[in-house]
Structure 1
């Protein structure tokens, strides 16, 4: 069997027909669950708020996250090689803002907000998350200003079922 061909998608050289602001305005109308992506290890702890999260496969359990590759979290996450997707409940709006960088709180200080623990990989798990996917990095792919982070799920923490925090039309909503 032939090995799969992988190719880095570099779209930075292409001209675009859609202005960036029009694209952002369009994407703002696509509702998505809100997550805090965390990492922990020798490079330290870091985390950020994300909506660009998806399952890839259930055999093996695999997920993806898109993150800005110029942010501090991207370098720490790549060095640690582990991450956790913490899916937020509607009551976690303030925590989502903290990890989105609102209010000027950064780095390790973000973890003073919320109750955090560690599971299999050592990445911080939000104790009150709706669900937390504890993952090991299996691939990082640069695409334009971002990286597509692909992780194999090592453990799943199921929290109590309650309304999820959703981001749409540039505002939080409960679902």
Structure 2
């Protein structure tokens, strides 16, 4: 199966307070953009590959973490080989790794007919990384907490 992973931009980011767990409570407006990585998932032995030699291809890659989190949460799915054709800039704040993880969750949901809603997948994604829940839902959304609370479909309106 092939899935696109969409980059995101933060339109706003407010740091509200430091939490006891070391994270910060945030309030952000995020939007998906048409800059994508392409992921190919096939049944296999759990190998990981990418077109960029410096990206991790071990269990530290968020795409592999997402596959393991999906299997753990649902009891569904087999071990997959994952290839990432990377175009989202690395370490640019555009959620490249998180969007790859979200694409894996969406793909596995489809492959194994688990019929989880985007918000249910986002809950699984929250165990993988702070931007993953938003990346599962995508579009324009209000994102709060450390990233685990996503209100999709946010529309900007102006009184002007």
TM-score when normalising by structure 2: 0.27
Greater per-residue strand proportion: 1
The structure that has the greater radius of gyration is 1
Greater per-residue helix proportion: 2
TM-score when normalising by structure 1: 0.25
